Amino acid sequence: MLAEGAAQLQAAGIDTARLETRWLLAHVADLQSSDILTVGREIVPAEVRGAFMAAIARRMAHEPLQHILGTTEFYGLEFLCDARALIPRPDSECVVEEALKRIPANNPVQIADLGTGSGCLLASLLANRPHAQGRGVEANPAAAGLARENLVRLGLSDRADIFEGSWTSWQGWGAADLIISNPPYIASGEIDNLMPEVRAHDPMDALDGGPDGLVAYRQIITLAAANMKPGGWLVFEIGHDQREAVSALLQEAGFAGIDSSKDLGGNDRAVWAQLPDL
């Protein structure tokens, strides 16, 4: 089964074919991946084989592995994952790290996540700051529903809720001690060049950042400069080539303490700044 599935995925251009095949077989057989070693010579039940081949067919069509499995891990937490929102990705974990450095561990703070999607950034912050309260802001009703499901699943719904609407209509700017956001940042002309797993399966409104990829940053920075609590922090995920542009927008808007960090792949990934405390 493993050999057959891996050969099909490899032929479809899946780079990690053997690893993904093992995950898919374990998933449909309701086993841990390591259990396959102990049952490897047993006859596979017909219903498991059918489910496995259906999963392989979906992956051959470049449906994301995380959508087929239904969950994915991010910052040590397991999130429901489907086509309603962007897939949480390891690159974003460094953005969470930088945000956590800017809010005290034992003080009550207010956190907001603009364009929360699956809720992975918000939930990761709340799970590591037990005295914090949070709000996700999400204009896409389907994504907002997924975020709510993840907050309930992770036992965080008593400390967070979801505002269903745009950040332009959200009124909570002045209450937040920290605002985090992974906004759409792909330039419109680059969408067609994305991997099919992203281009065909992630929500377009979470990808398309306008002609230069910076439309959402301009909106958020302008609103934050006018309405955010003095002394509050703004933490962004950015595209690998957007550090200078986003930093310049923050500087022009009057933010201070502007800095950045890289992800595990060595690409610029997080930019943060503080609204001066007048």
Q: How far apart are CA 12 and CA 9, in angstroms?
A: 5
Residue listed under structure tokens 């398309």 = 208
pLDDT at 214 over 90: yes
Of the given ranges (41-50, 120-129, 260-269), which has the lowest mean pLDDT? 41-50
Distance CA 112, CA 133 (A): 9
Q: pLDDT band for 35, please (50, 70, 90 cuts).
A: confident
Average pLDDT of span 53-68: 98
pLDDT at 41 over 90: no
**Pairwise CA distance, residues 235 & 143, whole Å:** 21
Q: Average pLDDT, whole number, for the chain?
A: 96
State the binding site for S-adenosyl-L-methionine. Answer: 115-119, 138, 167, 182
What is the C-alpha to C-alpha distance for residues 184 and 16, in angstroms, rounded to an integer? 27
The model's confidence at residue 242, banded by pLDDT at 50, 70 and 90, is very high
pLDDT value, residue 7: 98
Q: Look at residue 58 in the predicted model and tell me its pLDDT.
A: 98
Identify the band that residue 43 occupies on the pLDDT scale cut at 50, 70 and 90.
Answer: confident
At 46 the pLDDT is 94
pLDDT at 40: 75
- Would you place residue 173 in the very low, low, confident or very high pLDDT band (cuts 50, 70, 90)? very high
Instruction: For residues 48 and 70, give the distance between their C-alpha atoms in angstroms, rounded to a whole number.
Output: 17
Question: What percent of the chain has pLDDT above 70?
Answer: 100
**Contact (Cβ atoms closer than 8 angstroms) between residue 216 and residue 185:** yes
- Could you tell me which residues are annotated as the binding site for substrate? 182-185
Binding residues: 115-119, 138, 167, 182-185
d(CA 224, CA 209) in angstroms, rounded, equals 18
Residue type, 125: L
pLDDT, average across residues 255-278? 95
pTM: 0.94
DSSP state letter for 188: G
Distance (Å, whole) CA 50 – CA 39: 18
209 with 72: CB under 8 angstroms? no
Strands 233-237 and 268-274 come out as antiparallel
Strands, E, within 34-156: which ranges?
A: 71-74, 77-80, 110-114, 133-138
Comma-separated ranges of CATH 3.40.50.150 domains in the chain: 75-274
CATH fit for domain 75-274, picks 3.40.50.1820, 3.40.50.150, 3.40.50.720, 3.20.20.70: 3.40.50.150
The strands making up 110-114's β-sheet, listed across from edge to edge, are 160-164, 133-138, 110-114, 178-181, 233-237, 268-274, 256-262
Residues 91-130 pLDDT 10s? 999 999 999 999 999 899 999 999 999 999 999 999 999 9
Q: How confident is the model at residue 38 (pLDDT cuts 50, 70, 90)?
A: confident
> pLDDT tens-digit profile of 114-172?
999 999 999 999 999 999 999 999 999 999 999 999 999 999 999 999 999 999 999 99
Cα 133 to chain centroid distance, Å, stands at 19
Which distant-in-sequence residues (6+ apart) come within 8 Å of 80 by Cβ? 70, 71, 118, 146, 149, 150, 153
Give the integer Cα–Cα distance in Å for 133 and 129. 9
